[in-house]
Amino acid sequence: MNNIFKIISSSKITFILLVILTFAMAIATFVEDRYDTLTAKLLIYNAKWFELVLVLLVFNLIGNILKYKLFTLKKSAVLLMHISFILMIIGAGVTRYTGFEGSMHIREGEVSNVIYTSDPHFSIKEVDKVWSFPIFISDYSQESFDVKFETKSNETIRVKMKEFLKNAVEVFKENSEGGKNILEITLAGSGKKIYINSGDKKEIENILIAYNTDAEPNYLKIYDENGKLMIKTPENIIRSNMSSTETDTLYSDSLYEFTDQKVYATTKMMFLFSKFYKSATKEVVAGKPGEKGMDAMVVDVEHNGKNYNATVFGGAGYLAQYQNIDIDGLNLSLSFGETELELPFSIYLRDFILERYPGSMSPSSYASEVTLKDSRNNLNEEHRIFMNNVLDHDGYRFFQSSYDRDEKGTVLSVNHDFLGTWITYIAYIILCIGFILTLFNKTSRFVFLSKQIADIQKLRKAGITSIIILLFSTFSFSQSGNSPVISAEHAEKAGHLLVQTYDGRIEPLHTLAIDIMHKISRKDKFELEGKGTINNMQAFIDMVIDAEYWKNQKIIYVKEQSVRDILGVKEKYASYYDFFDGMQRYKLTEYAESAFRKKQSEQNTFDKEIIKVDERINICMMVYDASFIKIFPSQSGNSSNWGCWTDSMAYYPLPVSYKVINDDLKLKPLSFRNMLSAYFSELTIASKNGNYSKADKIIGYIESIQRSSSIANQLPTDSQIDFEIVYNKSNIFVLLRNIYGILSFILLILAFVDNLREKSSKLVKRMLTFFIVLLGLAFLYHTYGMILRWYLSGHAPWSNGYEALLLVAWGAILGGFYFIKSSKITIASTALLAFFMLMTAGHSSYDPQLTNLQPVLKSYWLIIHVATLTISYSFLGSGLILGLINMMLYIFKNIRNATRLNLVIKELTYINEMNLILGIGLATIGTFLGGVWANESWGRYWGWDAKETWALIIVTTYTIILHLRFIPKMKSLYIFNVSSIIGFGSVLMTFIGVNYYLSKGMHSYGQGDTPIFPIWAWVFIISIVLVMVFAGIKEGNSKNKA
């Protein structure tokens, strides 16, 4: 028994299980990308061996709790973290085996108490008796079945699966035994194909057709006669040749040859005889790889010694449709797909509400107004279901998921997993408590490392310095034009006008212009033929008064090649007219409608890119017609909504209190529309003659009207407006990028000199202090910029990739200051990391959110989840930098400086370990808070999406790294530092690999061609590997000599 306990609680077993778990999850994401999600689940996620690994991990964690006697106050932090992971795995098991998901479809004015399970089931029905069981099948991993049932008459039925056909299609096999001649008729216009067997009659589009059978006189009759097909029609029809303009008339009740590739036109329809199948039988076969369609299952049904083969269509994502068979007098119905589940209560859909962006048909949000009806307790409650606002009742949770094409029906996702969810939530809470205690418990590893660092600093002596010089460069350019354009001075003045955004925020027009132009083109300036170099504010106004010119300019950013192919453009920028064909039809209509109808969790990157590009084109439309410029306050005292010049309120005459304005402008009548029209007219004139006095005066009048509105006390003050415009112009994070780059270079040099000199230098220490103070000021400026960005955007500044990088940079500097007492090299390395983050942000998609966030992103859980996870990357990134610095120290270590450098390496390694403890703690909490967000948004706290899977891989990877010290042969400073470098690959895979190289996940950006892995990245990876190998050889040699 003791031997079993030792094995179960062994650190080596912990290591092996975590490695298996990590590699299995990583492989699964590539299996999903290569095949499909179901295959990944069947082979790995839902496989019994994977569950066994998790169960063994639970026993291992329990064994470690007993082995290390964690049931003490001193070890309470470690105990809580072990218990939390045990509960998480238990909660996952409860969800796996007791919870289920489904969907409910309701039309307006209708009531439903039926949901459809998301897992496909195979069902057999005899009258009102049903046998059903879940079945998961893919091309590459199949669950087979061979089951027996007792009928009502106590007879045995055996149903056995024979074959699974992916994306099944029906084909005709000619010259088959027992086959019949078959005609294929194609309807003109729709292209729909109709098949008529010899001896059959069929009604097609109100036309009666008979083939090789007697029929009434009103039938169009087709015969096989002497090896030819003949046709007799009850009315005159026109026959035309597809390859020419020749036509002839087939007169009624006369016999003509029925030839293929000719169009026959009756008074009710046109059709083409497209193909003839001789002695053919219909077979179902698998479709081509990559095609999408309904699957099929071929089963063998045995009854009373007789067998019957049946092909049942359906599968995941399809509602089960029963197909009837008769076998030896027994009537059965078979189905394969999502099955019905009746609820003890019902939902009545009063109204489905779809809100669209103003001036467009693109949806911005949608909600279901429902009434919950439960006769068991006479419950009749009204609710509104929308993203992040769910309906809970009787253990079921309903989420807004999708809607019908005609916008008269809703699709609600349904989740039933009360117990599993709350076990998991309790585990998350325990985890957070355990992590906090780890940082402050005097007996924790974290505090122990801090004390060790302090002891090392007392022992450290000086050595000889080696410096690595890093080169940074900045680029700038200037361009100019000579064509007349709106002056920058007037654009600046107009930028102070207040405008209401579509989410209700009042802000300077300058902010709106920058946001719009960034949203459309990702640019700060435009170099245009005929206009010269102009800024965003000038461009924004000019797009209104010279719309036709701008519609021809390629300013609309299109990232994905797959979308550019649809538009027919080669570059990353398209013009407004590129989005419309020769008939002025919008090219993205079908794709946009499809993307918006999909569940949030099912949208891939092509869908998301379509939504983004569709949003840009709609924004352009609103800029061209000035409907974005909502600068006119409502004259109704009870409304805080402002309007643009295209709103109905803009046409109404203004009150006589504004008569003094019209005494100057002389408009008939004085209305908001006429006032802005006069402004645009004056602006056009002024752009040519340079006299902006009248345009300036109209701006002043509009400002006066705004300040006299019913919400004047809620408007930003003049100083606040100025402050916001200064922020817009300051380019805080571009400036900080350069500052961090310079300071990191200087601090790295000074920190190495300070650590490696034989004698301490007061000058070096003073210089270090001076530049650290500068870095502190830069960090405060960074914080100031983040706070301002929060204020300007109205949401936490980490809602997209750009803002996430800003937060990583901020977190890196914060982490550096946390360890500043321990090591100056650490603060220098975090400044270097911040530089790299901001440099990357400068080259990434600068996409500040202009319109409302997508509904699912409007969640406080998202704010906490993304912030926590992103800041964790800062600490883990610092681990990478510190690991590389230690590799360089190993390389430059020799007999003379070995004692000194060994202490420095040990100190930096301990700091590195503290970094990783903080990083993994935040990464773990952030990952599982993401599960809370997902569960509160669409009812599933874990779905093995590639992004969340790789976030979990980060946790398991760094758990392995931090537990290497428990394995004697792997307990070395060198191995730990190498691991901290390699481990960061999991972060890069989560941040970059999933986004661009895995195409099946909801977080993926990989629709279209996968980007080529850059040569410089290979060079960088190979260089790091060579450095680690060389450092390992040097360290191994030095130990052998010792």
Q: What is the CATH number of the domain that holds 194?
A: 2.60.200.20
Q: Does 810 score more than 70 pLDDT? A: yes
pLDDT band for position 475 (cuts 50, 70, 90): very low
In the numeric block, which tokens belong to residue 220?
Answer: 């169009």
Instruction: Kindly give the pairing relationship between strand 129-134 and strand 121-126.
Output: antiparallel
Residues 632-656: tens digit of each pLDDT: 888 766 566 788 888 888 888 888 7
Centre a 10 Å sphere on the Cβ of residue 1013 and count the other Cβ atoms it contains: 12
Distance (Å, rounded) from C-alpha 616 to C-alpha 608? 12
pLDDT computed for residue 751 by the predictor: 84
Phi and psi at 112, nearest 5°, equal -140, 140
Directed axis angle between helix 718-730 and helix 762-793, to 10°?
120
pLDDT of residue 874: 81
pLDDT at residue 266, as a whole number: 87
Domain membership of residue 835 (yes or no) is no
Looking at 280, 311, 338, which one is the last position of a domain? Answer: 338
pLDDT tens sequence across 214-254: 888 888 999 898 888 999 999 999 988 876 677 889 998 88
Q: CA-CA distance, 505 to 502, in Å (whole number)?
A: 7
Rounded CA-CA distance 265/247 in Å is 10
Domain stops at, among 695, 710, 725: 710
Tell me the per-residue pLDDT of 882-898, one tens digit each, with 9 for 90 and over: 999 999 999 988 888 88
Rama region for 154: left / alpha / beta (φ>0; ψ in -120 to 50; rest) = left
Partner residues linked to 137 by β-bridges: 142
Judgement on whether residues 585 and 649 belong to the same structural domain of the protein? yes
pLDDT at 1005: 39
If asked whether residues 157 and 306 sit together in one domain, one would say no
97 located within any domain: no
CA-wise closest residue to 710 among 632, 628, 630 = 632
39: in domain: no
Output phi, psi for 393, to 5 deg: -160, 130
Among candidates 554, 595, 564, 521, which has minimal Cα distance to 1009? 564
Whether 213 and 302 share a structural domain:
yes
Q: Pick the range with the lowest mean pLDDT from 52-66, 221-235, 418-432, 468-482.
A: 468-482
pLDDT in tens, 706-727: 888 767 777 888 888 888 888 8
Domain co-membership, 406 together with 508: no
CA atoms within 13 A on the CB side of 457: 16
Among the listed residues 23, 28, 95, the one whose alpha carbon sits nearest the alpha carbon of residue 934 = 95
Percent of the chain with pLDDT over 90: 33
Instruction: Map residue 154 onto helix, strand or coil.
Output: coil
Instruction: Please report which confidence band the pLDDT of residue 757 belongs to, taking 50, 70 and 90 as the band edges.
Output: low
Tokens coding 680: 């645009």
Q: What is the DSSP string of 637-700?
A: TT---EE-TTSGGGGSBPPGGGHHHHHHH--SS-BHHHHHHHHHHHHHHHHHH---HHHHHHHH
Alpha-carbon distances, residue 920 vs 137, 877, 916, 930 (angstroms):
37, 11, 6, 15
Give 333's strand partners. Answer: 125, 324
Same-domain status, 121 and 176 = no
Does residue 498 carry a pLDDT above 70? Answer: yes
Cβ-based neighbours of 941, under 8 Å, separated by 6 or more:
95, 421, 424, 931, 932, 934, 935
Model confidence band, residue 358 (pLDDT cutoffs 50, 70, 90): very low
Q: Is 378 helix (H, G, I), strand (E, B) or coil?
A: coil
Where does a domain end: 292, 315, 338? 338
If asked whether residues 345 and 332 sit together in one domain, one would say: no
Q: Residues 510, 651: one domain?
A: yes
Shared domain for 704 and 564, answered yes or no, is: yes
pLDDT at residue 299, rounded to an integer:
92
**Residue 384, domain extent:** 102-166+339-416
Q: DSSP character for 1030?
A: H
On whether residue 664 sits in a domain, the answer given is yes
pLDDT in tens, 539-564: 999 999 888 999 999 999 998 889 99
Q: What is the pLDDT of residues 970-1005, one digit of tens each?
A: 989 999 999 999 999 999 998 777 876 775 544 443
Query: Is residue 636 exposed (0-12), middle (13-18) or buried (19+ Cβ within 10 Å)?
Result: exposed
| Crossing angle for the helix pair 824-843 and 898-938, to the nearest 10 degrees | 40
Helix axes 898-938, 418-440, angle to 10 degrees: 150
Q: Which helix (H) or strand (E) is 237 found in, with range?
A: strand 237-241
What is the tally of structural domains in the chain? 3
Same domain, 241 and 301: yes
pLDDT of 852: 38
User: Do 596 and 642 fall into the same domain?
Assistant: yes
Residues 525 and 515 in one domain: yes
Please tell me whether residue 227 adopts helix, strand or coil conformation: coil
pLDDT given for residue 691 in this prediction: 92
Per-residue pLDDT band for 462 (boundaries 50, 70, 90) equals very low
Q: What is the DSSP letter of 568?
A: T
Q: What is the chain's Cα-based Rg?
A: 35
Is residue 443 in a domain? Answer: no
Q: Does 698 lie in the same domain as 685? A: yes
Count Cβ neighbours within 10 Å for each residue of 435-474 and write b for 16 or more, e otherwise: bebbeebeebbbeebbebbeebeeebebbeeeeeeeeeee
Residue 907 lies in a domain: no
The answer to whether residue 625 is domain-embedded is yes
Residue 432 lies in a domain: no
